[in-house]
Chains A and B, each alone.
Chain A
């Protein structure tokens, strides 16, 4: 009898000790938010374009965490799908054409002579990349523009164009050699 009582008491004591440790750890190492959502969000291109059907990248990240397909992000394209597949350990899917096609990056350009200063595009821009005021000409801060297209629709005079990013000496890149194409350009040394 005494042995059983001792065993019960010891187990009770252990349970209390571990319970206290777990309770302390839950408070001490509390994790704010859902880390998987943050990780998914970090892989999304943050254009906030809404082509996936969610109002921004974070909501889509939350939806992916809740089991939505990973192939609804046209600005991210194949690279993002691949990265998401790696992160979530799922099969990469081809981009869902319903939400748009992968396009080269563009930036919005306002034809300033035609702008009537209605501020509608300013309100539409998710990253505050358009500068202007009521009845004043507006302009796009190119470095901040994510190319999300959201300003094009609200413009009443259609003075916004989406232009491909110009190639300059600053963002120009060496091309990889074309395998088995015969001529390899320039990078070989002296003969």
Chain B
């Protein structure tokens, strides 16, 4: 690969002091095994992993601790053997300084690992199965954003990837972790790139390295000699390592606004991710370590270390000889895009650099002066935005104008703020503006969601009320029908059964409901009176059988009753007939 292919230029960009030499002199070191590891469940963009271990459980190095939860998620493995002591909110490397749920692992010092299952012959596997292996190893992008790698490789399955770009530009000052990764593991990186080539089958593979890393370029060229991988040295200019900027430099093509590189059939991966892929597939190791740059003038021996994920930052700083009295600001990431962290937080999969800066290195910014419309920021902007305009709109909270001026294409590289003669913290305005716009957007979708739920509830309540009304009506109708049926039955019974043929009780009942004429009533009363008199005498005779008066009366009364009864019955039967 002696001839260098054509490269293009990107708009804007700045040349801040490199400050990379401090941390490359000592090679790559291993830190002593930390006693306690803090493993946040969120080490990537997306959803938190779900813990699958219990507090008190003993785990081995490389054992799965938390499985991925949904597509935009990444599993988490134990970086060493030990005991799970807690699953709780713990310090987290985030600009907010807030805590995040984490698995706390106390190492037992033995560092016993689970049995590895390397796949030497990955070429015989289906690319989808290789992707599954990458996902299972918990690999998320090591460049900084931390997008789950398997998801990124799948992001646009309908688009063919013609160009695979490996990002080794490492443009931000102070950071040297990619440089040291390449210097120490060029063969492994090439092997990892070949795994990616097996998955994506691109027409060309371009590795972009800034020309301030001659050792890395030489190492990669040597390792990639017998492959189709092209190693391209690009001019040192910040921020050439931005995904879209590197694509533009290497291919001359621009990723459309709001689009993905896959839209122009390009895919970009960080060089550290390639090493992690090699280790995951060919060595069977999940992602449990990463290379971190420890630098800054407050450290006595700035260096690069291989550190287990979850190592607390203060242990790393102690290893590099921190002089606490000189420390002014502790930054995770580089001086341009990094953020201040607390040293209690751990490093995670995306942490590439720790900058322990003195006051001289990162002095507090001078007070901002009014914008003088010099336009230097627009010249420096790598995405050709108009920061001076965005600044006004952000101050006035004019979100419609911010949208129109493509604020969301801003990569927050900080080039505009770096060149600003008025020291206006432009990036902070833009970050706040973006956050506010996202919050408004979120509020709107929430409101829409609530509206739907409210309407569905109203519909349901109405439906239930209607159903109750229907049921009530149905019951009323049923009751009315039953009443009508009863009446009809009673009428039928009276018609169908002649009183003479009926047994006494039924006859009496039917008589009760039937209407008697005045004469019949009289006869009935007479019969009843006669019966009562007869019964009284019969009763008295039963208690006092010697009463002769009564004995005489009995036949007369019997006669009277029989006559009255007969007269009444005759009257009613005539009526019925």
Q: Identify the A interface with B (CB < 8 A).
A: 41-42, 44-48, 56-58, 79, 126-129, 144, 146, 167-169, 171-177, 179-180, 182-191
Contact = CB atoms under 8 A, between A and B. Distances in A.
A176 B432 CA distance: 5
A180 B425 CA distance: 11
24 contacts: A41-B451, A46-B446, A46-B448, A46-B451, A46-B454, A58-B451, A127-B450, A127-B453, A128-B453, A128-B456, A173-B439, A174-B434, A175-B432, A176-B395, A176-B432, A180-B368, A184-B367, A184-B425, A184-B428, A186-B428, A187-B425, A189-B415, A190-B361, A191-B363
Given A173-B435, A174-B431, A184-B368, A179 B335 contact: no
Given A167-B96, A173-B436, A189-B336, A56 B428 contact: no
Contact of B427 (A56, A58, A169, A187): A187
A34 to B, nearest CB: 16
A46 B450 contact: yes
Contacts of A191: 361-363
B521 to A, nearest CB: 60
A6 B248 CA distance: 72
A46 B447 contact: yes
Contacts of A41: 451
B98 interface: yes
Interface of B: 16-17, 19, 42, 92, 94-96, 98, 100, 173, 329, 335-336, 339-340, 361-365, 367-368, 394-395, 414-415, 417-418, 423, 425, 427-429, 431-436, 439-440, 443, 446-451, 453-458
Contacts of A185: 425, 428
Given A46-B448, A190-B173, A177 B96 contact: no
Nearest to B413: A189
B95 A188 contact: no
Contacts of B368: 177, 179-180, 184
Given A126-B457, A190-B16, A169 B428 contact: no
Given A184-B367, A190-B362, A176 B428 contact: yes
Nearest to A56: B454
Nearest to B439: A173
A169 B335 CA distance: 22
Nearest to A44: B447
A177 B173 CA distance: 25
A126 B454 CA distance: 6
Contacts of B335: 189-190
B242 to A, nearest CB: 15
Nearest to B338: A186
Contacts of A172: 94-96, 98
B345 to A, nearest CB: 11
A46 B454 CA distance: 8
A123 to B, nearest CB: 10
A117 B504 CA distance: 60
A185 B16 CA distance: 20
Given A48-B454, A128-B453, A146-B450, A169 B92 contact: yes
A182 to B, nearest CB: 5
A190 B336 contact: yes
A186 B435 contact: no
A182 B92 contact: no
A184 B248 CA distance: 33
Contacts of A180: 367-368
**Among all A-B residue pairs, the 9 with the closest Cβ atoms:** A173-B435, A176-B432, A188-B365, A174-B431, A187-B428, A189-B418, A172-B96, A46-B447, A46-B450
Given A46-B447, A180-B367, A183-B364, A190 B454 contact: no
Nearest to B451: A46
Nearest to A183: B364
